[in-house]
C-alpha cells in the first residue's frame, strides 16, 4: 500500500516538471512561429540578425525561463525519487500536455495522425525506461 502523502508529493513534483516543461516548450514554439522561418531571416539579415530576432522575442525569454524552472524542478524531483520513475513519467506526460497545449494555444491542427504518433512515442518512452 502506497503512503497517500508520499503519492501526492510524487504527483506534485512530477506535475511541476511537466507543467513548467510544457509552458517552456509551447512559449518557445510560439516565439519561433511569431518570428518566422529562421532560414529566410538568416539569408536576409545574416546569422547576427537571426540571433537578434530570437533573443529579443519576449515569448522566447519567458519560454527559456520556464525551461530553466523545469530543469531545476527535475533536479529537485530526482533528489527525492528514482530516475526510473521521474524520467519516463515526465517525458511521456510532457508529450501529451504539449500536444494539448499546442492545439489550444498555438492553434495547431492536431489530427488523428498526430495523436497516434504522440501516443506511440509515449508508449515507446515508457518501454524504453523499463
Partner 1 sequence: MSHPRLNLQQILILAFVSISTPLGDACLKRGMALLPPISLAHPLSLIAAVFTPWIALGIALLIGYFASYLTALSWADLTFVMPATAMGYVFMTLLAHFWLHEAVSWQRWLGVALITAGAGYVTHGPANTTPPVNFADAIEAAHDVHAAQGVAAEQEAQ
Can you tell me which residue has the cell 508520499? 6
Q: What DSSP state is assigned to residue 81?
A: S
Cβ neighbours of residue 89 closer than 8 Å, sequence gap 6 or more: 14
Taking CB under 8 A as the rule, which mask of x and - marks residues 37-76 in contact with partner 1? xxxxx--x---------x----------------------
Residue 9 vs 110, nearer CB to partner 1 = 110
d(C-alpha 2, C-alpha 84), whole Å: 17
Least Cβ distance, residue 51 to partner 1 (angstroms): 9
Residue 8 vs 126, nearer CB to partner 1 = 126
Q: What are phi and psi for residue 120, nearest 5 degrees?
A: -60, -45
Residue 9 vs 87, nearer CB to partner 1 = 87
Stretch that binds partner 1, among 9-17, 68-76, 78-86, 112-120 (CB under 8 A): 112-120
d(C-alpha 91, C-alpha 15), whole Å: 11
Q: Which helix (H) or strand (E) holds 98?
A: helix 83-104
- Asked if 120 is part of the footprint of partner 1 (rule: CB under 8 A), the reply reads yes
Residues lying near partner 1 in the complex (CB under 8 A) are found at 25-26, 28-29, 32-41, 44, 54, 95, 98-99, 102-103, 106-111, 113-114, 116-121, 123-130
Amino acid at each position: 500500500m502506497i503512503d497517500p502523502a508520499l503519492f501526492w508529493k510524487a504527483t506534485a513534483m512530477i506535475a511541476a516538471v511537466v507543467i513548467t516543461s510544457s509552458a517552456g516548450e509551447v512559449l518557445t514554439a510560439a516565439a519561433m512561429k511569431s518570428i518566422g522561418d529562421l532560414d529566410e531571416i538568416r539569408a536576409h539579415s545574416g546569422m547576427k540578425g537571426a540571433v537578434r530576432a530570437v533573443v529579443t522575442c519576449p515569448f522566447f525569454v519567458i519560454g527559456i525561463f520556464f525551461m530553466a524552472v523545469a530543469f531545476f524542478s527535475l533536479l529537485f524531483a530526482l533528489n527525492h525519487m528514482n530516475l526510473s520513475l521521474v524520467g519516463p513519467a515526465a517525458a511521456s506526460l510532457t508529450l501529451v500536455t504539449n500536444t494539448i497545449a499546442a492545439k489550444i494555444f498555438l492553434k495547431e491542427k492536431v489530427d488523428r495522425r498526430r495523436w497516434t504518433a504522440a501516443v506511440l512515442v509515449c508508449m515507446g518512452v515508457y518501454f524504453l525506461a523499463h
